[in-house]
Amino acid sequence: MIPIGPLMWEHRLIERLIARTITEERRIKSSGKADPFFIDAVVDFIRTYADHCHHGKEEDILFRELAKKGLSPEHQRIMEELVEEHRQGRELVQRLVEAKDRYTSKDNSALMDIQECLAKLTVFYPRHIEKEDKRFFYPCMEYFSKEEKNAMLEEFWDFDRRLIHERYGKIVDDLEI
């Protein structure tokens, strides 16, 4: 099995969230009102699923293993771009959180910032996913033996199993403070 299967499945779920975000962005434009609960859900999904889970597997496992392989200059450049895009995505989500917080504090100028962040996210993720899907993941699998692919796939599953315990352990830790 190619170990990028889980990464590709994760892309499909992220795309579903982005499609729903496009609909919400249009609703905000027409109504002039944002839904803070929707924004919280998007932020939670992106931070936990897209960034920590998905990008975590890419950066902590796939990219780590690729760095050992002597990548072609093109693949090395794309990998560096992807890491930078992950950082940019985190910054954009943080801006969305700040805009939502200002909005819930009755700062009317925050609505435009919310719309801008949502619009950028709906452009950012499809482009990022397309780059990974079409120009990086499949070609980079050629660097690995079948055994290396299977070992990475097992590490992906272990990563996912630990994630839920980390997430909810942190929630309880925070509640105990």
Question: In CATH, what number is assigned to the domain containing residue 87?
Answer: 1.20.120.520
Residue 108 belongs to some domain of the structure: yes
Residue 52 belongs to some domain of the structure: yes
d(CA 106, CA 113): 13
Residue 61 belongs to some domain of the structure: yes
Q: Which residues have C-beta within 8 Å of that of residue 129, sequence separation ≥ 6?
A: 11, 14, 15
d(CA 109, CA 103): 8
Residue 155 belongs to some domain of the structure: yes
Cβ proximity of 78 and 131 under 8 Å: yes
Give the pTM: 0.89
Range of 11's domain?
Answer: 5-172
Which uninterrupted H or E stretch holds 20? helix 5-31
Q: Could you read off the pLDDT tens digit of each residue along the chain, which spans 177 residues?
A: 566 677 788 999 999 999 999 999 999 999 999 999 999 999 999 999 999 999 999 999 999 999 999 999 999 999 999 999 999 999 999 999 999 999 999 998 999 999 999 999 999 999 999 999 999 999 999 999 999 999 999 999 999 888 878 877 888 888 888
Sign of CA dihedral 162, 164, 167, 168: negative
Residue 177 belongs to some domain of the structure: no
Residue 124 belongs to some domain of the structure: yes
Per the structure, the count of domains in the chain is: 1
Cβ proximity of 159 and 59 under 8 Å: no
Q: How is residue 143 written in tokens?
A: 């660097």
Alpha helices in 45-137 (DSSP H): 56-57, 63-67, 73-104, 110-130
d(CA 174, CA 36): 22
Residue 153 belongs to some domain of the structure: yes
Q: What local confidence, expressed as pLDDT, does residue 82 receive?
A: 98
